[in-house]
Structure 1
Amino acid sequence: MLKKNYKPSGIATWSKDDRPREKLFRLGAKHLSDSELLAVILRLGVEGKSAIDLAQEIKTRFKTWRNMADVDIAEWKQIKGLGITKISQILAAIEIGQRIQSEKSKQDLLIKDAKQLAEIFLPRLRDEKKESFWVVLLDGKNKIKDEMELAKGTVNEVSTYVREVLMTALRGAAASFAIIHNHPSGNPEPSHNDIQLTRELVCAGKTLKIKVQDHLIIGNDRYYSFAEHGQIKDLEKLWENYIHMKYDGG
């Protein structure tokens, strides 16, 4: 926390033990407040404001790191003294933090259920303003082999997505895969196109012997899982019944 006897005449006037950068090296980054961390990123203040003054103004305005990551550049520029360089430094630092979290969450991760996928993709997709469509490739032990964003935008042409997903899974020699996308509205309930896409992927995957583990839809801090609702298994059974009827003359 910032000391009560702080004077806005510049961090250089503080004792060395209280300066954010020196405090970070002495105690570690975890011991710094949000404002102190921001001050380290900013490095320097502007005329009439120290780096800590500017950091406190930013924190007061946006409240959370998540809000900082989500607002438009135009809103950042409304803060007097913040130019492109300082804004870029802050946003780059936030993005690095998000990528570190993403790497930690999926490292050697054995995907057992939708909750584990949601832990990876909720932070990444819940604030996206456009639909972002991802595929996660899994090996025979359900460990993540690879992940990639296939498209941005509403899923309208279902057949195009089916081809793209299956080609990606085949090229990646995946034993199975999951697809994930977000609903910018915040409501993760599946649309007609979402249901159709899942049905076609499950059927095509059965034909190619590549299992669809799940279709996860990300909303605002919640998700919808086709696997959790039993729909993946139901679709697999429908496909199997169709094949039996077709070839057994039932």
Structure 2
Amino acid sequence: MNSVREWPETERPRERLIKHGAEALSDAQLLAIVLRTGSNGKTVIDTAIELLQNFRGLRGLEEASISELKSFKGLGIAKIAQIKASFELGKRALCEKSQEQFFNSAEIVYNYFFPKLNGLKKEVFITLLLDTKLRLIREVKVSEGTLNQSLIHPREVFKDAVKESAYAVILIHNHPSGDPTPSEQDIEITKKLKKASEILEIPILDHVIIGSGKYFSMKERGVV
């Protein structure tokens, strides 16, 4: 039974999605719907499972470059385009959803950004620009790489906040090690930015450090 068309209707990914909803399907089944057909004599499910194994899950598949995807035997340009497009649509939907989200706690910030930052090998520093209702105006990536005072300058952090007339900001960065405990450098940078925020009258509501399965809130710990 090599073709998915030969499977019982209740086992076919597309039919299962229509009947039970997308949340009822596994990662491999969802990916199989995106791919549509198998390759090299394998079913689309087998191809999807091999892809996920080869790239170590959805995160690795999303981060894979076009050349890396091309190296996977049986994956042509059309399928690569379908994979990239599906991930980008997911990101854009998440971004639109964030416009309705009230960022009024460190836990909300963590839950929203953990999927985006988890697994990154570099530190990324992000500023959230918020309106008076604490809804996201937009997020700004300030720097990527090891944090230091020369990169995280108040000018770069607040430039877009001033331009967008943001009511307040939340600072975020990740620790690739998974441990969100702040370094002395993290605390020094936060205190420096807090002084700048007081002059500009654009308050820093929090600085959330995102780790693996946990976070550190500088507001909750009394740093800001």
* TM-score using structure 1 length: 0.75
Q: Report deviation, 1:67.
A: 4.8
The aligned residue for residue 46 of structure 1 is 39
Question: Does residue 108 of the first structure (1) align with residue 108 of the second (2)?
Answer: no
What is the distance in 1 between the residues matched to 2:116 and 2:35? Answer: 25
Paired AA for residue 49 in structure 1 = K
- C-alpha RMSD of the superposition: 2.8
Question: Does residue 220 of the first structure (1) align with residue 208 of the second (2)?
Answer: no
Q: Report deviation, 1:221.
A: 2.3
Are 1:158 and 1:197, in contact at CA under 8 Å, matched by a contact in 2?
no
Are 1:158 and 1:196, in contact at CA under 8 Å, matched by a contact in 2?
no
The aligned residue for residue 154 of structure 1 is 146
What is the distance in 2 between the residues matched to 1:169 and 1:40? Answer: 41
Aligned equivalent of 1:125, options 117, 124, 128: 117
Q: Equivalent pairs: percent with the same residue?
A: 41
Q: Report deviation, 1:30.
A: 3.4
The aligned residue for residue 29 of structure 1 is 22
Q: State how many pairs are aligned.
A: 224
Aligned equivalent of 1:58, options 47, 51, 64: 51
Shift in CA distance, 72/129, structure 1 to aligned 2, threshold 3 Å: farther
Q: Which segments of 5 or more consecutive residues in structure 2 lack a partner in the other structure?
A: none
Q: In structure 2, the residue corresponding to 1:149 is in which secondary structure?
A: strand
With 200-209 and 69-78 compared, the bigger mean Cα shift is at 69-78
Q: In proportion to residue count, which structure has more helix?
A: 1
With 200-209 and 182-191 compared, the bigger mean Cα shift is at 182-191
Q: Report deviation, 1:215.
A: 1.2
Aligned equivalent of 1:69, options 42, 62, 65: 62
The aligned residue for residue 162 of structure 2 is 170
Are 2:171 and 2:206, in contact at CA under 8 Å, matched by a contact in 1?
yes
What is the distance in 2 between the residues matched to 1:122 and 1:37? Answer: 22
* TM-score using structure 2 length: 0.83
Q: Report deviation, 1:214.
A: 1.1
What is the distance in 1 between the residues matched to 2:12 and 2:124? Answer: 42
Q: Which segments of 5 or more consecutive residues in structure 1 lack a partner in the other structure?
A: 1-6, 233-250
What is the distance in 2 between the residues matched to 1:84 and 1:191? Answer: 44
Q: Report deviation, 1:56.
A: 3.2
Paired AA for residue 177 in structure 1 = V
What is the distance in 1 between the residues matched to 2:133 and 2:12? Answer: 49
Q: Report deviation, 1:163.
A: 0.9
Aligned equivalent of 1:204, options 196, 202, 205: 196
